[in-house]
Structure 1
Amino acid sequence: MNLYSSVHELTLELKKQKKNNNPICLVPTMGSLHEGHYSLVHKALEASETVWVSIFVNPTQFNDNNDFINYPKNLNKDIEKLLDISKNIKIFAPSAKEIYGKNIEPQKFDFGYIGEVMEGKFREDHFNGVATIVTKLLDLFKPDFVFFGEKDFQQILIVQKIIDESFHGTNLVRCETVRNKNGLALSSRNKLLKRKDYNNSNIIHEMLVFSKKNLMKIPYDKIKAHITSEINKVENFKLEYFEIRDEKTLFEIKKNNFNIGLRAFISVKVNSVRLIDNYLLN
């Protein structure tokens, strides 16, 4: 059997796997899978002959109910594609009731500064919802390895903090962002874009590359001003934030700073669809 929907079934299967001393690798997803997700799965298959993929659109991490309702879903297609990759992939696709019971509410967490800026600022309670489901999944699976993509870089720092505090036996594996031929980061939300908006979204990557090329040439405030202007002049596009921050602390640079480990972060609203991305600068 490759598909599990109940915690009871999952627990029994995990016990069998642990008896065989086969490392438990988990790739958490919200479904509507794409090549970015598949790259995580392939990476996980390098570490274990059996890989678990969770597919669960987590209601508690959406601060906008319309965003939750409109989030693309196609479980049957996701399952079919995963099993095309390997018959050794096992899928956990529970209902919200199975995960939360009757109380579909996020727990409250304090991640300090890394949870307050950027996505923490623009999406109230988002990281509480993320941390709630990640904690539940890590507690259920107790994986040796868990795989996340760097497109959601701030989320990776949140997950690492959860692991450091409560799941010492789990290793977080960071995987590079997968992009289309024009540089746009792959995202399930890309499927919600109209064709014209999708084609215009390449400007997001172009602006990240611009920041990398000009970090040592142009003052930081002028880089921000240029990117704001270029994004906002595109029809239906509105920049929410562009910031250059230390990738470990998420402290924003005050002026041009040439230390290693700087990363540019960007969020753009295209009509009602939010697109986020980031880029290592040095």
Structure 2
Amino acid sequence: MEVFQTVSSLQAVLTNLSGSVGFVPTMGSLHQGHLSLIKKALEENTHLTISIFVNPTQFEDPTDFEKYPRSLEKDLSMIATIAPKALVFTPAVSEIYRNKITAGFYSFNGLDKRMEGNSRQGHFQGVAAVVERLFSIVNPDRAYFGEKDYQQLAIIRHIVVQKKLSLAIVSCPIVRDKSGLALSSRNARLSKHHLEQASLLFRSLKQARALYLDKDASTAQHHVNQLFSQAQEWTLDYFCICDEITLREIDNKKTENVRGFIAAQVGEIRLIDNLSFSLI
């Protein structure tokens, strides 16, 4: 495993590689969800590049950026265990953004105007900026993203088409713990008490899916609202059933390729999850 801090040192190696390059961009604090992306990339490519970079432009609150968990040595050890030949890119902020830490402006055709876009102003502009920059540095054949951040995944796919980038975006299923909680770096900040309660999100999605398929979207929505009204320590940010491509909320009529999305907060920690509600 080789670790690089600069663009020039990484590209000096990448330039001489033959065969396909898979890329897994991360913000570190790795867990089994990240490792599933790495394993998938290893299966499908000759070479693997992984980035570990906590991106400041996607955090609306600087405090949230500072509190984001960082564990570089542990992350490198985990990568070395399953991908000993990987190229790992761990740049400083100045290496990515040069002299100006700004995200620029992207048009997402409305994909950013709901769900996380309502709660985290400028978040997806920051995501788009760093992803496009990383793609230009690594020039991968395939890049791997988890479905837990499904709205982000949809926006990245949009960017690839919009910018006519020559790579494939590969989505990978959500990895969950035994309670059903979607793995997330933010889970490490949950108290033991709240961690035990956090399966509420996935349980709500499963019950809503059953109600949607058996009845309709409004019945599912009402049920989730009731569940969270009874969960005293939790605040429901949103629950919605949306088209998987446009991310627009569906009406009460059942349709294919839909997904339930949920976000809720307990204490200072905000969690998101999603689940396919498709008929097939």
Structure 1 runs of 4+ with >6 Å offset: none
CA distance in 1, matches of 2:237, 2:83: 39
What displacement does 1:216 show? 3.1
Partner of 1:259: 255
Structure 1 unaligned blocks of 5 or more = none
What displacement does 1:237 show? 1.0
Q: TM-score, normalised by structure 2?
A: 0.96
Q: Counterpart of 1:239 in structure 2: which amino acid?
A: L
Q: How does 1:61-210 map to 2 (within 5 A)?
A: 61-210=58-207
The answer on whether the counterparts of 1:63 and 1:126 sit within 8 Å (CA) in structure 2 is: yes
Aligned residues: 278
Bigger Cα displacement from structure 2, 225-234 vs 181-190: 225-234
Percent of paired sites with the same residue = 37
Structure 2 unaligned blocks of 5 or more = none
What displacement does 1:112 show? 2.1
Residue 270 of structure 2 is aligned to residue 247 of structure 1: no
Q: TM-score, normalised by structure 1?
A: 0.96
RMSD: 1.2
What displacement does 1:50 show? 2.2
Bigger Cα displacement from structure 2, 162-171 vs 113-122: 162-171
SS in 1 for 2:44: coil
Partner of 2:6: 6
Partner of 1:272: 268
Superposed CA deviations along residues 205-228 of structure 1, whole A, max 9, x for unmatched, are 000000111113344223212212
CA distance in 2, matches of 1:235, 1:85: 41
Superposed CA deviations along residues 183-231 of structure 1, whole A, max 9, x for unmatched, are 1100000001001101100010000000111113344223212212212
Equivalent residue for 1:36, pick from 33, 37, 42: 33
What displacement does 1:232 show? 3.6
CA distance in 2, matches of 1:82, 1:178: 17
The answer on whether the counterparts of 1:49 and 1:88 sit within 8 Å (CA) in structure 2 is: no
